[in-house]
Structures are given as C-alpha cells and as structure tokens.
Amino acid sequence: MQGGAFPFVLVLCPLLLLLPFGGSSHQEADKPSTPTSRFQRYLRIRTCHPSPDYEAAASFLVSQAKAIGLKTLVLEFVEKKPVLVFSWPGQDPSLPSILLNCHMDSVPAEAEKWLYPPFSATKDPSGNIFARGSQDDKCIGMQYLEALRNLKKSSFIPLRTIHVSFVPDEEIGGLDGAKRFVGSREFMELNVGFILDEGQASPTGEFRVFYADRLPWSLVIRSSGKPGHGSKLYDGSAMENLVRSMEIIARFRENQFDMAKAGFVPKSEVISVNPVYVKAGTPTPT
C-alpha cells in the first residue's frame, strides 16, 4: 500500500499468527467448523485472474467476519472489485488503529501441472493442502480472522481498534483496489497507525519480519534504425541498436544475481531486472 499525507508505518511480514491449521487425517478436513475446513472453503473459491470470483469470496469472508462478531464494510470503488474492511473496536477508539491487510485474488493456475486440481484444496495424508492462492495469500487472510476469532472467544478486548482489509487485483498492480482504498475518505477515517501485510513464506518455525517494500519500476526502451530488405545486411538497424542496450542491462542483472547467489546481500536487497517482451515492426501510415 502507498500512503498519502497521513503518517503510518508499513511493515511487510510473513505469517505471524500461528494457528491450528494442521492435522494429518482426511476426516479432520471434512469437519464443518474447523480452521482447516474454513481455509479449504476459501481456497475453493476461484479468485484467479483473468476472471476472479470476487462476489463469492466477499460473501464467504463477510459471513465469517459476522460470525466472529466483527463490523463489516464493503466498498466498491470499481464495479465488481470489492474492498472488504472488518473492524473490532478497541477500548480507546481515538488511538491510531492497526490494519491487517491481504488480498483475495491469485495468479492463474495450469491444472495439468498440479498434483491435485488447483481449486480442490485437497489435503494429503501428511496434512499438506494443495490449492492456488494457499500461500499468496489466502492463508494470511484466514489466519487474521482465526486469530481474532480466538481472541474474541478468550474475552480479550484490544486497546486500539483492529481492522482487517481484503483487497482485489493485487496480483495485477492494485490500481482498482489498494490504490483507490488508501486514497479514500473511508481509509482516512480508519486512522491507521500500523499496517501488517504479506511477506515471504515461512516453511519453518522462524518468521522473518520485513520493514520495507520493494517498488517496481517499469522501463520501456524504444530503438529505431534504418529499415531494409530482409535479404540484405546493413548497419544501424533497430534490433542492432536495441541489442547494445540489452547487453548493458544483462551485465548489470548478472552482477546483481551474482551478489545474491554468493550471499553478499539478501535477495530482497538486490535490484531484480526481468525483461518482459519485445515488439518489432516497421511503422506505416496505416
């Protein structure tokens, strides 16, 4: 998320809320009201691009929030792209609040490359759950809710208000979700002082806390040159000029990659360079 004129601290974190998602029996996964079964229900909702089912996801999440006893708010800055905000008022609502953020959407899944169907949320005998979005990042959203559910049951009352937000379109830039949300009057009224968001997966019992965010920079290189017939060799072609730039970029990328592989700097502190596509052609009046 990016802020406006308001002060807040952004912290990217891995899964900090340890919850009883485990268990190795298939029977446990079939129980109607366990953290695992609720997680599986969420995973079975197809929220992958290019056609994420936000309506079904929002309906499920709102029902869970209401069952926990949270206040619910559904915002729609862009049609059919809801932003969900669930709130637990604190003892002193005037204090800056805590916001736990996550996203509902996921990247596409190629079913033929999966051991189990990517939206089956199958749990194997070892307790592993297979589903698109299970790590990025439906597990985090469900852990937020399950943690608040457990705290509610223990009669805990937070000092400051806690909000949980579920945003759309994070995987494609967040322009219609998070960007519009943080620029809205509704976000300002949350009085956010501290945010937790997703981080790297934590396969062990150690959890790394990230206190910075990597920013993407999109760079477009346009190269021009003399056009000519494909049967001839000639100097100064557009592709020849482009290759010179690509060679410089490739050397820089190799240098960054070598530092990361050698362990001189963490992978999160090097500059990732990844060319996406190349287009070529000869401009014509038509």
Q: What is the CATH number of the domain that holds 136?
A: 3.40.630.10
Write down the pLDDT at residue 209: 81
Cα–chain-centroid distance for residue 140? Answer: 10
Catalytic status, residue 137: no
Does residue 136 have a known ligand-binding role?
yes
Which is catalytic among the residues 105, 169, 176, 197? 105
Instruction: Answer yes or no: is 3 within a domain.
Output: no
Mean pLDDT of the chain: 86
Instruction: Answer yes or no: is 56 within a domain.
Output: yes
Catalytic status, residue 170: yes
Answer with the residue of higher pLDDT: 236 or 98: 98
Which is catalytic among the residues 137, 146, 170, 197? 170
283 and 164 share one domain = no
Please report, rounded to a whole number, the percentage of residues in the chain having pLDDT higher than 90: 62
**Strand 71-78 to 81-88 pairing:** antiparallel
Q: How many domains does the chain have?
A: 2
Mean pLDDT of 12-24: 40
Residue 227 pLDDT > 80:
no
Does residue 103 have a known ligand-binding role?
yes
Structural domain boundaries, residue 275: 217-286
109 and 229 share one domain = no
Distance (Å, whole) CA 273 – CA 249: 8
Q: How is residue 115 annotated by DSSP?
A: S
Answer with the residue of higher pLDDT: 174 or 14: 174
14 and 84 share one domain = yes
Residue 254 pLDDT > 60:
yes
Q: Select from 164, 197, 230 the last residue of a domain.
A: 197
From residue 38, alpha-carbon distances to 22, 77, 141, 192, 194 in Å are 13, 28, 11, 28, 27
Q: Select from 197, 228, 262 the last residue of a domain.
A: 197
Instruction: Answer yes or no: is 174 within a domain.
Output: yes
168 and 235 share one domain = no
What is the phi/psi pair of residue 119, to 5°?
Answer: -120, 20
89 and 231 share one domain = no
Write down the pLDDT at residue 207: 82
Instruction: Answer yes or no: is 203 within a domain.
Output: no
Mean pLDDT of 79-97: 98
Beta-bridge partners for 165: 85, 101
State the pTM of this model.
0.76
